[in-house]
Amino acid sequence: MSEFWHGRRVTVTGGAGFLGRHLAARLQEQGADVFIPRRRDYDLTYPGTARRLLRDARPALVIHAAAVVGGIGANRAHPGRFFYENAMMGVQLIEECRLAGVSKVVILGTICSYPKFAPVPFREEELWNGYPEETNAPYGLAKKMLLAQAQAYRQEYGLNSIFLMPVNLYGPHDNFDLETSHVIPALIRKCLSGQDEIEVWGSGTPTREFLYVEDAAEAIALAAERYDGADPVNVGSGQEISIRDLVARIARLTGFTGRFRWDASKPDGQPRRRLDTTRAHQLFGFQAKTTLEDGLRKTIEWYRATLS
């Protein structure tokens, strides 16, 4: 247990969400005094809310994990909302952290900010070398703006803010709503639905990298404690799997024996995603511990328990 967290006042935006609840629990176990704002009380998209939040919580450290997120379908349906709400939450919060004299701000970005055809594995130096994949570009660009803001505020005002880019997360308490979920929870839900045939979007050829949510929480805690630099940092497992192989693995782990119908008329999204995670290991000692097999098994067990 690190003395860094003992008694430290920390505000985790999005602390009641998927990643946030795991992160907040970890920090509380480490002895931190964690404040979790609820959107019904602190809607950060509205002017003045971030200032009121910081006045009420009086944090020494802020971790901005709140985001409006979803899979390809949700990004295509709500590009304006995803851009506006993610940008407004972050821009206003960072400004108010500066004004309030918060000692450190941890901002969570996304690998959706990377160029569509970034060389694999994605290295942080490639972040600005092209436009993101179109289906989630508004979301990715909104998050990317926060990196520019953080670096500008560090340069002009001396704000100690760091920027982390987690890969696709999965695990217990994920979003299993088929309208807005990402690929892993959607596939788990479909495989356990009792259907004989399941539709899967795209061709199955794109690859994705996944990180178990508990590992992501560990990475954020380590970065908050040990890293104080201006450069963005990838957070991932460094391993990739094709969507077709992922589907087969989830089918095996859930016991699904039906058919898959691939709808090639639906978008595949970015062709490949795999991160270079060297910087995270070097700068704050993070390395993912949970294999995809073990993480999927734990996630399936948790979701099955919610059905009983």
The catalytic residue among 42, 139, 153, 170 is 139
Please count the CA atoms within 13 angstroms of the CA of 62 that sit on its side-chain side: 29
Q: Which residue has 């985790």 as its token pair? A: 12
Nearest one of 150, 131, 154 to 141, comparing CA atoms: 131
**Residue that the structure tokens 């970005």 belong to:** 109
Q: To 5 degrees, how large is the angle CA 144–CA 148–CA 154?
A: 140
Residue 139 bears catalytic tag: yes
**C-alpha distance from residue 27 to each of 57, 225, 307 (Å):** 16, 11, 29
Give the DSSP H or E segment for 249.
Answer: helix 243-254
Burial class (CB in 10 A: 0-12, 13-18, 19+), 248: middle
Quote the tokens at residue 245.
């192989």
| 126, 118 Cβ separation under 8 angstroms | yes
Residue 106's φ and ψ, nearest 5 degrees, are -110, 120
Q: Which residues contact 169 (CB under 8 A, 6 or more apart)?
A: 18, 19, 210, 211, 212, 213, 216
Q: What are phi and psi of 57, to 5 degrees?
A: -90, -30
**Cα–Cα distance list, 4 to 100, 216, 234, 306 (Å):** 21, 19, 23, 36
CA separation for the pair 234, 2 (Å, rounded): 23
Active-site residue numbers?
A: 139
